[in-house]
């Protein structure tokens, strides 16, 4: 697989990463650990060197999973994890927490769970309104100087927050949602990242599964699947948004590819410093996603997608109100 540099940081990763959250959290019951280890190691065998996790996924279980799965070839991969929340005794999130002393504690615990001596990329999971971003950046800068962390990242941060953090400690990557059905980052975020030399790591590059074509208005989700509370996944919204999936299917048929591959290939064409991290629990979907790196969209393909998207209005918010409040703008 080809590699890409995240911005101008010098951090080289595979053009397609693997988002590991869904193996432990968010989309229903956790995958059997040995099956999950097998999938992660298969991704590595297929050229994936960029693996994304967070203490919040489980919590803690996903980091432990990656620690086990990647141990045999730890020096050959890039592991990204995140800080920014506190958890109650039952493992539920009890609020944001990016206080400097908490960041240090999370780093030390993550190192143990990941079975490593350094975190390659340490993201603030969500911007904490109660802690100045300069204090957050300064804490990670200290962790970098101590050799516990290599690179600093932000997630769902607004342009001004990115600038303030970057002035204290260069930001290697921003991780935020970006796909054919969520293009808000194009307005202000992408120009800011390009100016500052920061890489972009889109999460949910397949619209939380919707852009694959495997979900329609009649699909039901597991009771533990968080899509049950996402407005964009209401039955009415799914019915309205089917037009976007139909468009992808037409282009995919022409390219002898799948809808998911076209959606991922579109992201790769946007900027050379964009690295999507699609997640999956299935080996055949892993192979499909990795194959997207080989799909070449021509200027005509991109123009036809763009002109068709003008006529399609995506319905439904991407988060319920209580989660939307955590997005820094």
Coil vs helix vs strand at 301: helix
Torsion 21-22-26-28 (CA) sign: negative
Residue-wise pLDDT for 80-134, tens only, equals 999 999 999 888 899 999 999 999 999 999 999 999 999 999 999 999 999 999 9
User: Using an 8 Å Cβ cutoff, are 261 and 295 in contact?
Assistant: yes
Q: Which of 57, 60, 123, 178 is catalytic?
A: 57
pLDDT tier, 235 (very low <50, low <70, confident <90, very high otherwise): very high
Which element (helix H / strand E) includes 81? strand 78-83
User: Using an 8 Å Cβ cutoff, are 149 and 140 in contact?
Assistant: yes
Coil vs helix vs strand at 85: strand
CATH of 3-324, one of 3.40.50.920, 3.30.420.40, 3.20.20.100, 3.40.50.300: 3.20.20.100
The whole-angstrom separation of Cα 112 and Cα 108 is 7
Mean of all residue pLDDT scores within the chain:
97
Structure-block tokens of residue 251: 């282009």
The whole-angstrom separation of Cα 27 and Cα 222 is 7
Q: Is 57 a catalytic residue?
A: yes
- This prediction has a pTM of 0.98
Residue-wise pLDDT for 260-283, tens only, equals 999 999 999 999 999 999 999 999
């Amino acid at each position: 697989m080809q590699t890409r540099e995240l911005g101008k940081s010098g951090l080289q990763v595979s053009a397609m990463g693997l988002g590991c959250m869904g193996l432990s959290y968010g989309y229903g019951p956790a995958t059997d650990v040995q099956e999950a280890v097998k999938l992660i190691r298969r991704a590595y065998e297929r050229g994936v060197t960029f693996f994304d996790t967070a203490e919040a996924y489980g919590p803690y279980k996903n980091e432990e999973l990656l620690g086990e799965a990647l141990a045999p070839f730890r020096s050959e991969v890039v592991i990204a994890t995140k800080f920014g929340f506190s958890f109650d005794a039952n493992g539920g999130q009890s609020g944001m927490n990016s206080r400097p002393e908490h960041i240090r504690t999370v780093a030390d615990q993550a190192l143990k769970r990941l079975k490593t001596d350094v975190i390659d990329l340490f993201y603030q999971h969500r911007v904490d309104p109660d802690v100045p971003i300069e204090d957050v950046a300064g804490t990670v800068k200290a962790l970098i100087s101590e050799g516990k962390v290599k690179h600093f990242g932000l997630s769902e941060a607004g342009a001004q927050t990115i600038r303030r953090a970057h002035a204290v400690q260069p930001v290697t990557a921003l991780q935020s949602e970006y796909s054919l059905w969520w293009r808000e980052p194009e307005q202000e975020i992408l120009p800011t990242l390009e100016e500052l030399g920061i890489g972009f790591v889109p999460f949910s590059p397949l619209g939380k599964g919707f852009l694959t074509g495997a979900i329609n208005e009649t699909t039901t989700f597991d009771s533990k699947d968080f899509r049950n509370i996402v407005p964009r996944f209401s039955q009415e919204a799914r019915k309205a948004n089917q037009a976007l999936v139909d468009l992808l299917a037409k282009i995919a048929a022409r390219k002898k590819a799948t809808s998911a591959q076209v959606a991922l290939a579109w992201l790769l064409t946007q900027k050379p410093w964009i690295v999507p991290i699609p997640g999956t629990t299935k080996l055949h979907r892993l192979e499909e996603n990795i194959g997207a790196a080989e799909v070449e969209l021509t200027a005509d393909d991109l123009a036809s997608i763009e002109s068709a998207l003008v006529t399609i209005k995506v319905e439904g918010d991407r988060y319920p109100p209580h989660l939307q409040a955590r997005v820094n703008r």
